Every structure is written in structure tokens, then in C-alpha cells.
Structure 1
Amino acid sequence: MAIAQKMAMSLLERQTGSKGLPLASFAIEVDLNLDGLPEIFAYRYAPGCDGVNCGNFLFVLEGDSYQEVLGGVPGARLVPQDKIALSPFKRNGFFDIQSDKMTIGWDGTRYIDASTFPASSLAGAAFVAACQKNKLSQQSQEQVSAACQCQFNRFQTLGFTQADLDAYTASMVGQDFKYPTGDKENAWLTLTRDAQDIATGCDVASGKSQWPPAYFNHGDQPQRKLNFNGFLDACPAQDFILTNHKTGSPDRALSLCGCLAREIPTHGVSQEGLDLLAQYYRDEISDSDLEAQDADLLTAHDKASEACLSQFPAK
């Protein structure tokens, strides 16, 4: 929460023009697409909030910059936090969100009212039969029927075409099915990803399983409650962070630094070590100075950097 709050302060200042976070404000990290690099949800308190420069904000790193993605949803700024929840289902790679009585979904660049997405009406007997055949050895007949019907319903909710459903069903059956290649391969991979997300969402909704977290090569030490302010002030401005080929912009540098702040403590770095790294990032001490004070610190830093950069999204 401390890392999210520090990151949110600069993002909210840019969004609203107001500095700092008033009392009763907060920010949290939430990984909406399970890529291991969480988005930032922030609530900025203001008396008599009108939902313009206060209320709920959600920042998602898109390309070179963080975008606020709730602004187009009527009333979303003012929904009480106890009426906001993640859905078990994804759409276009991101979780749907329950915002009071409205479900909002990801359209590829922002969240919008999910009821505005086109749905479809499909013939699903062949899919349900193939699904039940695949699952019957794993669960009871009743559970299998419910799971397969859930998947079919979600296919329609997401607007799958009949051709998409038929192709996916054929791949399940496996007979005379040729996997698409060439120009059609990417579309097929997206289709199968969405279908797998639907199956997982149905299992989560039924209580059978949970969404697996993103793979991340964490250190073997538990997270610690540290003061990250100095580190997060210095890190995004450091030239070797800002100019790394995977960053290249202030917001991407901020995102990478947030990841480093989360990961470095899992490699055994203490508050003293984190403060030394902040000095190092401010060019106040050299590599040799740092190693003289803590011989293992740069190694821990480099391991955390490697873990974060390996997960970092393409521009």
C-alpha cells in the first residue's frame, strides 16, 4: 500500500492538479490482467466530492504512459469502495469490475459499461457435449453440466461468433482439426486465450479454483514494511532506469521502480540497504562506495531488476 500510495501521488497530481493525498485518501495495487505488474487504484478524498478531481481513480500503464481509465464510466468516481469488487471473469485480458450495480469491462484501452458490449446468440449443443465429455472424469455430472453451461453463456456474453465457437469446439474434439497458421494464428491464439479465461472464470465463480497469480521470480525473503519514499523519488529519475530499452518514458520508469520497490526486499534488503540504493540512484555514492558498505546489495538489486524487467510489458 505504501508503494501504491507514493506512485499514486504523482499520478493524481497530474490528473487532478492537486498535490498530496488528504487524510482518508488511499491507494492500493491491483493486478487486473495478472501480468505481475499491478495497476493503481486510488481514492482521493474531498469534502462534498463532485467526482471530477476527487473520488475513485484507476491508472493503467498503456504504452509509454499511465492512463486513468474510469473517467468514461458515469458515476464510477463516486461509488463507495465497499460496493466495488472484482468479477471472477475476464474480458479482453482484464477482470470485469462490479461498480455498485453496474458491471464495467475492459475494451482494450479503458473500462466501460459492460452492457454496451455486443453479445451474441449461439448454437451451443456441440460445444456443451464436447465440454461435458472432456470434464466428466473430473467432476460429477451436475458440476460438469453447470461448468459447461457457464462457459457457453460467457461465450455469448463476450460476443463470440458461431464460427469461433465451432472452431474451438473442433479443437476440443480433435478430429480433423488443423491449427491455424500464418495470418490466422494470432487470432486463434487470442481466441483460445479468451476461451481458457472463460473456463477459469467459471471455475472461480463456482468456488472450484482461484485465478493463479502471475509467475514472478521473487526472492526467498518475506516482504517487509519499509519506507519507500526516498527510493521512489530517486529511482525514476536515474538515467540508467529511464533510458533502459524496456522503459524509455517517465511513467514506464515509475512502473519499473514500483516493481523494484516491491521486489528488492524479497532479496533480503533492509531499510538501510534501500536508503543506500536511493543515494546510489541520486548519484551521491558510487558502485565501490555501495559495495564497501554492503557487499551483497548490488547483487540483490540486480536480481530484482532482472525479475522485474523479465515481466515488463512491451510498449
Structure 2
Amino acid sequence: MRWFSMRAAAFALALACGSTAGAFAQQQNIQQENSDAVARALAGGLLERQTGAPVPADRFWAYEVDFNLDGFSEIYVYVTDPACDGVTCGLFLFVLEGDSYREVLGDIPGARLTPPDRIRLAAFKRNDFIDLQLDQKLFGWTGDRYAEVSTFPATSLDGGSFIAACQKSKSNEQPEEGEAERVASECQCQFNRFQAIGFTQADLDQYAAYLGENFDYPTGDKEKAWQAVIKNAQDVATGCDVASGKSQWQPAYFNHGDQPQEKLDFAGFVEACPGQDFILTNRKIGSPDRALGLCGCLAREMPTHGVTQTGLDLLAQYYRNEISDADIDAQDAELLTAHDKVSEACLGLFPAR
């Protein structure tokens, strides 16, 4: 099985060459550095709350990683300590669930002690989150945490109807050399995965009928259940393509700006933003942790709309109620327009409570 790194984009930059590619790689590096800086600004307070004491800035690094591809990042952190106890140091993963950020790896024995170079995102999703490889063990999402995949229920299914329907749906009228073997392998991969994630026979037969002809789409009370079946089936198909190297997982679409970025310091903005009343009282926010999550998104996205360090510092003052709209407009007439575009984009993908 192939794994792909959480930092795959960074490795891809090593392949860039030439002046144009070099400039692109430099800009990509700046974007990554800004994303990492936002993650660090968010992680400091979360770590202090989790461990009971402030963690010095030189003892941890943090990344934004979208484990469920919804466009809203989880916070992945590693705290260094040569004598790590596996409780207040090592690996942490903070996920915004409902009103609060929750650390989701602490209940897994030994998870914190996994060496950073032995951590990978896997090929498949389970319950909307990508599986996580920690050294030699594979973990899947239960709905509120990661757990060893061996603890999940599996099923033993009759795949005859599905395999036939799958192969027929993927086959061309004039097949190329080797196509039959490729199609058979892809369909077998999907069938194996359906069993691994506990698909029922009824779900599999319904999906096989969907791949065939004259499928009657469920309506009424059955429609929601069918949507869940088709979503899981699509995730299985994509996972098989990722495992074979044919494709990779794509994050949710985000309305990024297209302006080149400069390296920024986000600490002042991230500290000021969550305390602003119009952030906290927004109907999609309503809690300090959700406000923190939104502010992280705002910080990450504003550079894509051309916001500079001067603009970010002005917004921090604005969020602290030290300056007015008119004061900002007098110094940067485009800043609040960019801020509003970013706010709309971040709120549009913000997780439900």
C-alpha cells in the first residue's frame, strides 16, 4: 500500500528547476512558512491548555493539515523533549468538534511517542477522515477520534454482482491492452475496502444496481441513507486510486486570492482576533475555540489577497478596538474589502456546530 506524506507538496518543490520554476517554488515556500506560522500561533494556547503549562516556542513545531478535506484545517503539533513522557510532549492533533478544539491522539497508548518521520497519511478515508499511519500501526476515524483499524467491525460480503457491475461500468467498448487486468484490480480493491469499512450486503447490492442500468433513486426517508452509501462508495473509489498512484486526495475548494505573498508574523493578529465581539457572536461561531479556528483561517487566507504585514497589524489594532474603519481606510483603502472577502470564504467552509 502506498502512503503519501502530509508534506508532499514540500517534497514536490525539490523537483522545480529553472528561473520560473524557482520563483514558483520560492513563493510556495513562503506560503508554507505562513501556513506553519499560523499553525504555531494557534497551537501555543491549545498546548498550554492540554499540558497545563506554557510550552516554549523553541520546543514545538506545528502544521495545518486537513485530515477530512473539508477546507478547514486541523492542527498537527510535535513537542520535543529528549526525555519525553508521552503525555506532555510528543505528537498532538487538535480537531475542532462542536464548540471546542479537542486533542484526539492522547487516548491511544504510545501515540505521542511516534517519531515524526514515522507518521504518514494513508490512502483511504474512513468516516470522512483520512487514515493515519503511526509507525507500524494504522488508525482510522471513529467519528470523534482515531483508533486502530483492527478494532473496527468488518463484513464478509458476496461481491459477485458488484464486481460484475463495476467491471462493466469501467470497461470501454474497445478495450486497450492490459485494461481488463487494470479494471479487475480496481474493482477488487473497492470490494475489499467495502468489507473493511463494514458495508452491508444491502448497501453493496444497492451500489451495484446504481452502477448498472435502470436504477431507481431512493426518495423520502431513504434518500439520506442512500447519499451516505454513495459518499462512502466514492471515497472508496478515490482511495483505491490513491493507493495505486493513479490519483490523490483533493481538499475542498476554497476561494483563495491569487496575490503573491510575503512572509508574515501572525501572532498579534491571532491573539487579537478571537476576542472581537463580531467574531465571537457570529451565528456560525459562538464559542472561543470556534472563534480561534475562524481567526486561523482568516490569518492564513489574508496574504492570498495581498494583505501585507502592515495591513495585518492594522487589522489586529482594529480587532482590539484601537482604530476605526475610517482609520484603516485612510491608510489602506483596499484592506477592509480584502478582509471581507476572506471572511466570507472562511465562514462559507466553517464546520457546523
Q: TM-score, normalised by structure 2?
A: 0.87
8 Å CA contact 1:22–1:46 kept in 2: the answer is no
Written as runs of structure 1 = structure 2, the 5 A alignment for 1:184-199 is 184-199=222-237
Specify which of 208, 222, 230 is matched with residue 169 of structure 1: 208
Specify which of 136, 151, 161 is matched with residue 101 of structure 1: 136
Instruction: Identify which range, 47-56 or 94-103, moves more after superposition.
Output: 47-56
In the aligned structure 2, how far is the partner of 1:121 from the partner of 1:241?
Answer: 49
Deviation digits for residues 90-146 of structure 1 (CA, Å, limit 9, x no counterpart): 000000001111110100001111110001111101111111111112871121111
Deviation digits for residues 38-65 of structure 1 (CA, Å, limit 9, x no counterpart): 1001111223111111111100000000
Residue 24 of structure 1 deviates from its aligned partner by: 4.3
Look up the SS of the partner of 2:250 in the other structure. Answer: coil
Residue 186 of structure 1 deviates from its aligned partner by: 1.5
Written as runs of structure 1 = structure 2, the 5 A alignment for 1:129-278 is 129-137=164-172, 140-175=179-214, 177-278=215-316
Instruction: Identify which range, 234-243 or 128-137, moves more after superposition.
Output: 128-137
Letter in structure 1 aligned against 2:128: G
* Counterpart for residue 352 of structure 2: 314
Look up the SS of the partner of 1:66 in the other structure. Answer: strand
Specify which of 316, 320, 327 is matched with residue 282 of structure 1: 320
Letter in structure 1 aligned against 2:204: L
Residue 11 of structure 1 deviates from its aligned partner by: 0.6
Residue identity (%) = 66
Deviation digits for residues 283-312 of structure 1 (CA, Å, limit 9, x no counterpart): 000010110110000000000000000111
- Pairs aligned (count): 314
Residue 182 of structure 1 deviates from its aligned partner by: 2.0
8 Å CA contact 1:223–1:262 kept in 2: the answer is no
Residue 221 of structure 1 deviates from its aligned partner by: 1.1
Look up the SS of the partner of 1:49 in the other structure. Answer: coil
Larger RCO: Structure 1 or Structure 2 (Cα < 8 Å, ≥ 6 residues apart)? 2
Residue 22 of structure 1 deviates from its aligned partner by: 5.0
Specify which of 127, 134, 148 is matched with residue 92 of structure 1: 127
* Counterpart for residue 29 of structure 2: none
Written as runs of structure 1 = structure 2, the 5 A alignment for 1:118-129 is 118-129=153-164
Specify which of 29, 38, 45 is matched with residue 80 of structure 2: 45
Deviation digits for residues 149-201 of structure 1 (CA, Å, limit 9, x no counterpart): 100000000010111100111111132x3222222222211111010000001
* Counterpart for residue 298 of structure 1: 336
* Counterpart for residue 15 of structure 1: 50
Structure 2 unpaired stretches of 5+: 1-35
In the aligned structure 2, how far is the partner of 1:116 from the partner of 1:110?
Answer: 13
In the aligned structure 1, how far is the partner of 2:76 from the partner of 2:89?
Answer: 13
8 Å CA contact 1:22–1:45 kept in 2: the answer is no
* Counterpart for residue 6 of structure 1: 41
Written as runs of structure 1 = structure 2, the 5 A alignment for 1:5-84 is 5-21=40-56, 23-84=58-119
8 Å CA contact 1:59–1:68 kept in 2: the answer is yes
8 Å CA contact 1:291–1:298 kept in 2: the answer is yes
In the aligned structure 2, how far is the partner of 1:277 from the partner of 1:25?
Answer: 27
Structure 1 unpaired stretches of 5+: none
In the aligned structure 2, how far is the partner of 1:284 from the partner of 1:22?
Answer: 28
Instruction: Identify which range, 150-159 or 125-134, moves more after superposition.
Output: 125-134
In the aligned structure 2, how far is the partner of 1:295 from the partner of 1:180?
Answer: 53
Q: TM-score, normalised by structure 1?
A: 0.97
* Counterpart for residue 12 of structure 2: none
